[in-house]
Amino acid sequence: MTAGLPWGAMARLTGRRLLAAVPVLALVTFGMFAVAAASPFDPVRQYVGSGVGASAETLDRLRADLGADGSFAEQWWTWLRSAVGGDLGSSLSLRQPVTQVIAERLGWSVLLCTVAFVAAVLGGTVLGVAAARRPGRLLDRTVSSLGYTLQAAPPFWIALLAIWLFAIQFDLLPAGGLTDPGSDAVTAGGLLRHLILPATVLAISQLPWFVLYVRQGVLDALREDPVRGARARGLDERTVLLGHALRSGLLPVLTLIGTRIPELITGALLVETVFSWPGIASATVRAATASDFPLLAALTVLSAIAVLVGNLLADLLYGLADPRVSHDEM
């Protein structure tokens, strides 16, 4: 890629995707308000709490304050206008502004997901290459079956078994949270100890896809002409595998990394909850349990944005990796 990147084409693709994202996000939010309108859920009752004898005027005033009067389309429009202005309303369950919830928690989620994702990519590459080296042999069969089994295993179940083994049985690592009981200070060492289990479990939940894709990519590459040519030139197997087969086999995997965002979010929802990780995914589950619509709505939109950015990233990388595909044609 010494010829320089196709900045113009990439910018045009990004621009087109941004335009396409507007109706998608509008539709996502509209759908959320429609579902909420069809549900027996009442934000005002939620806010006041049941069993409190609030007067009708108080309830009406609250309804107006919460923007919960009028039809759901009107509520949606009000919400959308203030959201664009940076005001996402207040969380009913955490009793703080939604923007503050996100600001406090987003960093922890990004940390957890990044560490887990990098670990999954590295682990998946190593295991995938090891399996593809001798297809059909014991190592390959073990890795492949393990991949399928782990893919079928719910992450929350793996998380619980990991807690049982490492936190309860052997008392090696903390079972959850960010700090040790009795202290509130987050230290680097303590953070690392608390990060190991959730990050490993999240990585394991993402691992099978990478292993199976890398294995397949390398297997395919091993059958292609460049590898045959390299072998004919007498290069040793290690160079062929790592220098030729891995490079072309890994490319399709790397370009697809962006499309793994939905699975990463799914995994984070479960893993953060089991480990009481103070990120936005566990906040989402808490918001759902408490029917906290403002928080749940904002976090759903946030994850939709993450998914769209991931798709864009995948397409940008795909265009870069494969010179036959033009960004302008996507």
Partner 1 sequence: MATTHPPTPATEPEQPWHTPAHERRGTRKVRVTTSAALVATAVAAVLLVPLLFPLDQQAIDLTSRLLPPSWDHPFGTDDVGRDLLLRSVYGLRVSLTVGIVAALVAAALGLAVGCVAGAAGGRTDRLLMRLVDTFAAVPHLLMGIFIVAMFRPGVWPVVVSVGLTHWVSTARIVRAEVLSLRTRPYIDAAISGGAGRRRVVLRHLMPAVLPQAGLAAVLMVPHALWHESALSFLGLGIPAHQASLGTMINAARGPLAAGDWWPTLFPGLFIIIPTLAIAGLAGAWRERINPRRRSELVL
Q: 55, 44 in Cβ contact below 8 A? A: no
Q: 326, 315 in Cβ contact below 8 A? A: no
Supply 157's token pair. 């179940």
300 counts as binding partner 1 under rule CB under 8 A: yes
The number of residues that bind partner 1 (CB under 8 A) is 70
Please tell me the distance from the alpha carbon of residue 47 to that of residue 102, in angstroms, as a whole number: 20
Stretch 202-231: interaction string toward partner 1, x if CB under 8 A = ---x---x--xx--x--xx-----------
46, 75, 125, 273: residue in contact with partner 1 (rule CB under 8 A): 273
Please tell me the distance from the alpha carbon of residue 211 to that of residue 208, in angstroms, as a whole number: 5
Tell me which DSSP letter residue 179 carries. S
314 counts as binding partner 1 under rule CB under 8 A: yes
Span 182-201, contacts to partner 1 by CB under 8 A: none
Q: 316, 10 in Cβ contact below 8 A? A: yes
Please tell me the distance from the alpha carbon of residue 287 to that of residue 41, in angstroms, as a whole number: 13
Q: Residue 143: CB partners within 8 Å, gap ≥ 6?
A: 127, 128, 130, 131, 211, 215
Least distance to partner 1, CB of residue 85, Å:
23
82, 96, 149, 187: residue in contact with partner 1 (rule CB under 8 A): 149
3-state secondary structure of 97: strand
78, 151, 248, 276: residue in contact with partner 1 (rule CB under 8 A): 151
Least distance to partner 1, CB of residue 322, Å:
10
Q: Residue 288: CB partners within 8 Å, gap ≥ 6?
A: 296
307 counts as binding partner 1 under rule CB under 8 A: yes
289 counts as binding partner 1 under rule CB under 8 A: yes
Residues that bind partner 1 (CB under 8 A): 20, 23-25, 27-28, 31-32, 35-36, 38-41, 135-136, 140, 148-149, 151-154, 156-157, 160-161, 163-164, 168-169, 175, 205, 209, 212-213, 216, 219-220, 252, 255-256, 259, 261-263, 265-267, 269-270, 273, 284-285, 287-289, 291, 293, 296, 300, 303-304, 307-308, 311, 314-315, 318, 330
